[in-house]
Amino acid sequence: MPVEQLSRPQIDARSTDTLIDRTLSVWDPRSECRFVVARPTEEPELWEAYLEGAVAGYRKYGAEKALEYRRIQGGDTTAIFFVAIEPNGSVAAGVRVQGPYLSAGQAHAITEWSNHPGAPAVRRMIEDRLPFGVVEAKGAWVSDTAARRGELVGALGRIATFSMDLLDVQFMLATAASHVLDTWRTTGGVVADHIAPVPYPDDRYETRLMWWDRSRRRGRAEAMQLAQLLLTTSRPTPSAAIATGAGGGVVRPMRSVS
């Protein structure tokens, strides 16, 4: 399926002020994990657990360069991050999100395609979508020891798409190695087939550009899960409460969900 061409923007400008203002969580029955989303500064212990898992996961494949640990460690380049917590309290998966972007040059995909023939097309696709709002998913990992690893892989990608709703943008982009494309397609991702893959972080990989569009309707189960996420808030130190399914009360709904 090709990436659709864009027409008139829905909005005139984007701001990085559209961040969530509290820690949120939702139970995922398929993976039997509780997913937590927060800003790094709000949940430093969970952020450290995310980083530890990411380092271990990327190191296993000799791909630490792609993680750029020193650049992201402080959390200031991350708008929000998601982690999956198993019933025993262990952090079993995670992904972080950058943006909303104000310029194409902020996107890491620009770096990945630098000095490659597809670079102008990557920049053009991002620039065309900036008026609609663009975020970028990075640093996804899933633990090899997760009890329901197969289900967790799909759940991580599916729930990461909620970042478009939480940050009130229409598009999310990500770069992915060819061997995981089919998994991300099941979450609504569309590969930009007209852009040639790049050997990133090295020649062992073929990395492709993918897009998710918030305006595409989700299934009923995903819509209900998103609604549950938006209406729950976690305690300031969530590890124990979240792992057992406990949480806080109902809070005001966020921005409208399309």
What phi and psi values does residue 94 have, to the nearest 5 degrees?
A: -170, 165
Give me the residue spans of the domains in the chain.
24-233
Residue 22 confidence (pLDDT): 85
Residue 218 confidence (pLDDT): 75
Residue 174 confidence (pLDDT): 97
Are 39 and 74 spatial neighbours (Cβ–Cβ below 8 Å)?
Answer: no
Residue 217 confidence (pLDDT): 72
* Identity at 72, one-letter amino acid code: I
Are 86 and 98 spatial neighbours (Cβ–Cβ below 8 Å)?
Answer: no
Q: How far apart are CA 61 and CA 185, in angstroms?
A: 22
Intervals of the chain under pLDDT 70: 1-19, 233-258
DSSP at 161: T
Side-by-side strand order, sheet with 80-85? 24-28, 33-38, 80-85, 91-98, 134-142, 171-177, 207-213, 190-191
Residue 93 confidence (pLDDT): 97
Task: Please say whether the structural domain 24-233 has been given the CATH code 3.40.630.30.
Answer: yes
DSSP at 130: G
